[in-house]
Chains A and B, each alone.
Chain A
Amino acid sequence: MIEESVSDLAIHGQVVEEFGSSTTSRTWYHYVLLAACVVFAAVSVGFVGSILQKSLPTWLHHPATVITGSGWQSPTGPFGGLAMIVGTLETSLIALVIAVLIGLGTSISIVFFIPRRLRNIVATLVELLAAVPSIVYGLWGYLVLAPWMYKSVDPWLNSWPFARTLFGDPSQQYGPSLLLAAIVLGVMILPTFVAISREVIAVVPQDLIEASLSLGATRWQVIRKVVLPTSRIGLFGATFLALARATGETVAVALIAGGVAKVQFHLLDPGTSIASWIATEFGEAQGNEISALMALGVLLMLLSFSLSLVSRWLVSRQRKVLAKV
């Protein structure tokens, strides 16, 4: 018995040695792989580094303006980023509310109420929608949703009590608006949210559901008291991923937000977002304006880094919760 395992080890050792020290094969694949890795590292460092470097003048001379200043005077400056930051937050958060409310209902229905044969079809359709390029959503928002909102929805919204406080002066409205951008963003991130939240909900173990039913729970109680709490952390993860997609979205917002660099708290007034402002301004920018746009880019990068870090952390925590079950 002992002899056997000794000989096993010997063979094993030999194999390892051959695999590890065969110099001919090591030279080429080892270095090719290493080279690929080095190229990637260099590209990443170069990319982040050059953006930081280009934005440096702004951070050195006008660090406050780019975050808290309003008004963007091209080409002389000042270049205030507050309108873009606020616009990004407004559109993304409203979009998120829309997507989470509709999306959660959709995910729950897909998992629990749609017949099994339809379930996979619907789930696949949702994932296909999540993969549609955003320019298509932007185009739809611009050509279909905007005229319809302007003709039918906006007048109705303006007839609400306190409409001016919430939506602004009707004479300032001409179609494109923060609300329109938020709605299109909401529609756009909805499939993303549904695709992830559906999976999170679907992996709640069946026997937990059966256990609660066996205690006399109704279906609704099972969902509210067991399924949603069990998948809670993963659902937050899905929310943050959807938010990350909304904040980074460029072209759709550029088409339909109105492109006005003004801090707007009136939702039917035109506004802009960081990403769409960069997209529309960079072509004619020079000198300090380039640096200011780069600084906005850094802000956007930080925002999306932190959002995806948070969502990754949440998803891994959800895995741990389920691993404990």
Chain B
Amino acid sequence: MSETQATNQQAVIERVPGHSAMQLKDVAVSFNGRVAVRDATFDIAKNRVTSLIGPSGSGKTTLLRALNRLHDLTPGAKVSGQILLEGTDIYRGDVTVTELRTRVGMVFQRPNPFPTMSIYDNVVSGLRFNGIKKKSLLDEAAETSLRSAALWDSVETRLKVAASNLSGGEQQRLCIARALAMDPEVLLMDEPTSALDPIATLKIEELMTTLKERVTIVIVTHNMQQAARISDDCAFLLMGEDRAGELIEFDTTEKIFNNPNDPRTLDYTLGRFG
């Protein structure tokens, strides 16, 4: 606890109100009528890192996946409430889901580069999905995104090599580069370091701190120190009586970890349960 407090005291940044990348209004997700998460109302501030924390089953990942409509795939899944991206409800009928996903990218728990593609092809895969064929554009995007993901220097000479030859940490940074190549406004990260060793984790965390200059980051993490170290804002979720996750508290990470409004938040961040 003393560690997290120390980290947070160094990283106090005031929130800028009214400058949101995404806004959640009373969002609930249910599967075949069974509510998985509800009551999620908060703003995801631009160019900041927002973390979603809470014990297993509290609906963090479910909520995250609602933000780029990945639940569209799941039969019986229903998202209610409003999720606004730059003021537009992403579930509105005239929103193209493929376009939305180019604006709200995602990095997954397990490093998952496409196994049959080279490093280069992985990075530009999103651009190719969206019909960009011009080599100069692809080359430029590949270099820029790999540089942003701090991977360019180590892969510059072997871009045509299969992505599976990279280490786990490098693969995850490749996945970040792949998402960045689409130049998204928001990057969703679902426990991006849970499959990585501590050093690779540290690199990804450092990367997130620099990346937020250009992209808003929402991260689900089980690791409270990680949430404290890297996030600016924090949403705490908890499983309710009826086994549905709900938002308990949303505030700056500093407030959530040091002086939360709800006693349950304090209990959780102090490690008293979960």
Contact = CB atoms under 8 A, between A and B. Distances in A.
Contacts of B114: 208, 211-212, 226, 229-230
A325 B112 contact: yes
B73 interface: yes
Contacts of B73: 210, 213
Given A115-B75, A225-B129, A321-B115, A210 B182 contact: no
A283 interface: no
A216 interface: yes
Interface residues of A, number: 24
B106 A211 contact: yes
A215 B126 contact: yes
Nearest to B121: A225
Given A210-B106, A214-B68, A225-B125, A116 B75 contact: yes
A280 B182 CA distance: 65
A253 B188 CA distance: 58
B126 A208 contact: no
Contacts of B115: 208, 230, 321-322, 324-325
Nearest to A219: B73
B98 interface: yes
A218 interface: yes
Given A207-B109, A225-B129, A216 B116 contact: no
B142 interface: no
Interface in A203-241: 205, 207-208, 210-218, 221, 225-226, 229-230, 232
Contact of A215 (B102, B164, B188): B102
Q: Is the interface of A mostly helix, strand, loop or mixed?
A: helix
B24 interface: no
B112 A216 contact: no
A214 B101 contact: yes
B230 interface: no
Contact of A214 (B75, B106, B109, B117): B106
A221 B131 CA distance: 11
Interface residues of B, number: 29
A205 to B, nearest CB: 7
Interface in A266-325: 321-322, 324-325
B178 A215 contact: yes
B32 to A, nearest CB: 11
Given A116-B75, A324-B164, A213 B70 contact: yes
A209 to B, nearest CB: 8
Nearest to B175: A211
Contact of B129 (A115, A221, A230, A232): A221
Given A211-B108, A213-B73, A324-B164, A218 B98 contact: yes
Contacts of B147: none
Interface in A106-157: 115-116
A148 to B, nearest CB: 39
Interface string B177-215: 011001000001000000000000000000000000000
A321 B116 CA distance: 8
Contacts of B101: 213-216
Interface in B54-83: 68, 70, 73, 75
Given A208-B112, A232-B116, A324-B164, A215 B175 contact: no
B110 interface: yes
B245 interface: no
B45 to A, nearest CB: 22
Contacts of B108: 207, 210-211
Contact of B179 (A207, A214, A232, A325): A214
Contact of B130 (A207, A216, A232, A321): A216
A207 B128 CA distance: 19
Nearest to B114: A226
List the 10 shortest-distance A-B pairs measured between CB atoms, nearest first: A215-B126, A214-B106, A216-B102, A324-B164, A217-B129, A229-B116, A216-B98, A325-B115, A207-B112, A216-B101
9 contacts: A115-B75, A207-B110, A207-B112, A214-B105, A215-B102, A216-B98, A218-B98, A221-B129, A225-B129
Interface of B: 68, 70, 73, 75, 98-99, 101-102, 105-106, 108-110, 112, 114-117, 125-126, 128-130, 164, 175, 178-179, 182, 188
Interface of A: 115-116, 205, 207-208, 210-218, 221, 225-226, 229-230, 232, 321-322, 324-325
